[in-house]
Amino acid sequence: MPELPEVETTVRGLERVLLGRRIERVEARRADLRRAFPQDLGQRLTGAKVSALGRRAKYGLIHTDRDDTMVFHLGMSGSWRIDHPSLEKHDHLLIETDEGRRLTLNDPRRFGSVDLVPTRELQDWPALKALGPEPFDVTARDLRDRLGGRSAAIKLLLGDQRIIAGLGNIYVCEALYRAGIHPKRPGGSISLERLDKLVLAIRSVLQEAIDAGGSTLRDFISPDGELGYFSKTFAVYDREGRSCACGGTVRRIVQGGRSTFYCPKCQH
Ligand SMILES: [Zn+2]
């Protein structure tokens, strides 16, 4: 499942092909993903010039000179491919640039989405408006205010997109491990000093993954032209029963229906 680092890497890869280019052709190859493609997608994007790209939480943003922004979400299995030689069954959206580059959005499970939002209304677009601050912007004081009085487990609170945006299960587990915080600890009980460590841990686990993705972008495109996916190593995630660096054993518990991995010796 694409997490924030994959989305960030994807956006940086798309930027190399799209920034400053005019979109020459848009073809939705089915009516919908998780929801319908905008009916006027082709009409509004064809001929538009891409003026900037960005990311908010796990949404990729492609801004155009027509004051429209295409907002995409990769869902569970989405990926963009560049100049893939042939169209495949799950290539649901095709974009061609004035340089003849071809981008395809592939999404076998179709939990992703594509929307067109007037750029000046982006801040108020419901899915974005509800989001908390970006992990790279949030401060320990912010987090303290947002967690204040909350008795729910910190693991669950960090996964709440209204508290902090864009953190998925993997990076919540890894950040709590790196900050030495037990995943069941009530959110409101964590000191400012420890939240400081947590904020740094969140940033560093994400940044390391983004850097790893960036190094795969150096050759730009993997043989199949897929953007954003790269192998990563984790300290605790998906390592139940294996050794932690401290000599302890990584445990798995279930919180809110999802697996949490942690080290009982390192996290309190
Ligand atoms: Zn440990």
Cα of 175 to ligand 1 centre, how many Å? 13
Percentage above 90 pLDDT, the chain: 88
Cα of 168 to ligand 1 centre, how many Å? 22
Cα of 181 to ligand 1 centre, how many Å? 11
Nearest one of 105, 124, 101 to 113, comparing CA atoms: 105
Question: pLDDT at position 212, please?
Answer: 84
Position 227 pLDDT exceeds 90:
no
What mean pLDDT is reported for the chain?
A: 93
d(CA 17, CA 37): 22
**170 — pLDDT class (breaks 50, 70, 90):** very high
**84 — pLDDT class (breaks 50, 70, 90):** confident
Question: pLDDT at position 247, please?
Answer: 96
pTM of the model: 0.93
Burial 128-158 (b: 16+ CB within 10 A, else e): beebbbebeebebebbbebbeebeebbbbbb
**224 — pLDDT class (breaks 50, 70, 90):** low
Query: How does pLDDT run across 68-79, given as a tens digit for each residue?
Result: 999 999 999 999
- Of 120-124, 164-168, 216-220, the one with minimum mean pLDDT is 216-220
Question: pLDDT at position 216, please?
Answer: 67
Classified as helix, coil or strand, 200 is: helix
Classified as helix, coil or strand, 9 is: helix
Cα of 245 to ligand 1 centre, how many Å? 6
d(CA 254, CA 76): 20
d(CA 1, CA 80): 14
Annotated catalytic residues are 2-3, 58, 258
Mean pLDDT of 149-176: 97
Q: Is 2 exposed, middle or buried (0-12, 13-18, 19+ CB in 10 A)?
A: buried
